Amino acid sequence: MTRELTPDLCIIGGGSAGLAIAAGAQQMGADCVLIERNKMGGDCLNYGCVPSKALLAAGRSAQLEKLARQYGVQYGAPTIDFQGVHDHVHGVIAGIAPHDSVERFEGLGVTVLTEHARFADARTVEAGDARVRARRFVIATGSGPMVPPIPGLDQVPYLTNETVFELTERPEHLIVVGGGPIGSEMSQAFANLGSRVSLVDMARVLPNDDPEAAEVVRGQLRADGVEIHEQVKVAGVAKGADGGVEVTLADADGERTVAGSHILVAAGRRTNLDGLNLEAAGIEHAKGKLTVDDRLRTTNKRVFAAGDAAGSYQFTHAAAYHAGVIIKNALFRLPAKADHSALPWVTYTHPELAHVGLSEAKAREQHGDSIRVLQAPFADNDRARTERRTDGFVKAITTAKGQVLGCTIVGESAGELIYPWILAVQQKQKVGPLAQMIAPYPTLGEASKGAAGQFYTPKLFSERTRRIVRFLAKLG
């Protein structure tokens, strides 16, 4: 028999966005139905942020012996048990999974349906034997790996972020297609764990980041042994003679072949919209993306979109932010709007690359040459020098009057160091408080204070200042 459910809110997707909305709304007194056809926790827990950072940690630990030599400490090269690495990654996932589980959410009072969801009409979703007629709906179906139409790719076994963490044996030679954050992180992790790695991209590594900062990461990837092939087209993929794969690359100089044991496709993401029957609900979408307004409403105003399903900001922290915006709109009828101008992102290579606000190039487009570029290298930071972690810099962009427009940090712990700059961009603050703060010594955070202080350097050490000092000196 068909079950008729009439909750306040029906959320389709049990990933980061859906779980945050369901937990928050239910605890605020709303009656919620959550529908998830696959794994609770979504991409972040099972295939993305959690396992990738666990693998990066394993790879980084394998390189500690090299770092120790710089400190005058020597011990034997590590022995890598890749089955043990696999178990570490999945142990981390298992440790977090209860927080995202069906049992936890049912304990909160949420009705969880482990079924495929599809719209029957503008106000009804069907899932298994249930018909859900909710006051509001949220599409939080996340995204999956995009597999480009490379000739021959469908004829060979290939990995994506959804399968690469199942490996229990180390790839001899991993070919990574895509030089974005996922491709760069996985290239470094596997190289550090002893695989030969070839990284291929049709543009350049980390194309959406500050070129100067991306060059620092690129240099470290090469130092870790990653072979980088940029501005090349993947013309074809074929089975190798030894059971591996052969990838044909093409550029202005012609074609060449790279032979490897495995291929990882990390060439972008696509929104998971298949089978939702969006047309029945009057929900428009184009090129695989939902049409949403600044309140995260679809063209059916009863239906919101959150997380990866809401657009191009495919970050777990964006999903959490969207949850707050949607709860304000759906539960409290407040016209809250999503503002992504202070949305940060971090690539967790070593060194890390973090960014918030406008890049130098975007700032010049919007404000011309009146902007100020403030930069402090980690090579001038005493803490970085004591730890031999001097690659990288803090680069802040301000208006001529000192308002912080954006910041890029590449270096040790960049993802942690970006915090005060996020606040400055979000609150439209001037650079003064950062320059005047008392920073503990020696810390990496002093680099941010140093960059901020550069805004005042030209005036502070100007001829006018020297004249004032000389004049005051004459007064005794």
pLDDT one-digit tens code per residue, 248-257: 999 999 999 9
Residue pair 175/307 in contact by the 8 Å Cβ criterion: no
Provide mean pLDDT across the span 314-333: 97
Quickly tell me which residue has 């400490």 as its tokens.
73
State yes or no: pLDDT of 430 exceeds 80: yes
CB of 259 closer than 8 Å to CB of 243 = no
Give the mean model confidence (pLDDT) for residues 345-354: 98
Q: According to the annotation, is 15 in a ligand binding site?
A: no
**180 assigned to a ligand binding site:** yes
Q: What is the CATH code of the structural domain delimited by 351-459? A: 3.30.390.30
CA distance 55 to 226: 16
Number of Cβ within a 10 Å radius of residue 144? 17
Q: What confidence score (pLDDT) does residue 185 get?
A: 98
- Looking at residue 1, its pLDDT comes to 72
- Name the one residue in this structure whose structure tokens are 């919620």: 32
- Judged against a pLDDT cut of 90, whether residue 445 lies above it is answered with yes
Binned at pLDDT 50, 70 and 90, residue 86 comes out as very high
Residue 78 is given by DSSP the state P
- The answer on whether 377 is annotated among ligand-binding residues is no
Per residue in 350-361, pLDDT tens? Answer: 999 999 999 999
Is-same-fold flag (153-267; 351-459)? no
Q: Spell 109-135 as b/e; 16+ CB within 10 A means b.
A: ebbbbeebbbbeeebbbbbeebebebe
Q: Residue 38 contacts by C-beta under 8 Å, 6 or more apart in sequence? A: none
Q: Which helix (H) or strand (E) holds 407?
A: strand 404-411
User: What's the average model confidence in pLDDT over 22-42?
Assistant: 97
pLDDT at residue 14, as a whole number: 98
Is 181 labelled as part of a ligand binding site? yes
Determine the 3-state secondary structure of 245 from DSSP. strand
Q: Is 422 annotated as a binding residue?
A: no
**Interatomic CA distance for residues 58 and 160, integer angstroms:** 19
128 is in an annotated binding site: no
Average pLDDT over residues 297-319: 95
CATH T-level assignment (fold) for domain 153-267? FAD/NAD(P)-binding domain (3.50.50)
pLDDT exceeds 80 at position 109: yes
pLDDT score recorded for residue 327: 98
Question: What pLDDT score was predicted for residue 288?
Answer: 87
Q: 76 pLDDT exceeds 80?
A: yes
Which comes out higher in pLDDT, residue 85 or 287?
85
- Is 268 within any annotated ligand binding site? yes
- 183 marked among binding-site residues: yes
d(C-alpha 451, C-alpha 224), whole Å: 29
106 is in an annotated binding site: no
* Every domain of the chain and the residues it spans: 3-145+270-332, 153-267, 351-459
Please, which pLDDT band fits residue 154 given cuts at 50, 70 and 90? very high
Q: What is the mean pLDDT of residues 452-474?
A: 91
Q: How far apart are CA 265 and CA 292, in angstroms?
A: 29
Q: pLDDT at position 360, please?
A: 97
Say whether pLDDT at 435 is over 80.
yes
Percent of the chain with pLDDT over 90: 94
- Report the topology of domain 3-145+270-332: FAD/NAD(P)-binding domain (3.50.50)
Tell me: pLDDT of 455 over 90: yes
Q: In which residue are the tokens 């249930």 written?
A: 130
In this predicted structure, the answer to whether residue 312 has a pLDDT above a threshold of 80 is: no
3-state secondary structure of 40: coil
Q: What is the pTM of this model?
A: 0.96
Return the closest-CA partner of residue 11 out of 469, 327, 222. Answer: 327
Closest listed residue to residue 210, CA positions, set 445, 43, 410, 472 = 410
Distance CA 351, CA 217 (A): 6
CA–CA separation, 472 and 245 (whole Å): 76
- Name the residue among 320, 316, 307, 309 with its Cα closest to residue 276: 309
Span 223-248, mean pLDDT? 95
Q: Bridge partners of 4?
A: 131
The answer to whether the annotation marks 53 as part of a ligand binding site is yes
131: left (phi over 0), alpha (psi -120 to 50) or beta: beta
- Mean pLDDT of the region 10-33: 98
Q: What confidence tier does 2 reach under pLDDT thresholds 50, 70, 90? A: confident
First to last CA, the chain: 96
pLDDT at residue 401, as a whole number: 97
Rg (CA), the chain: 25
Q: Tell me what pLDDT residue 47 has.
A: 97
User: How confident is the prediction for the chain on average, in pLDDT?
Assistant: 96
Question: Is pLDDT above 90 for 60?
Answer: yes
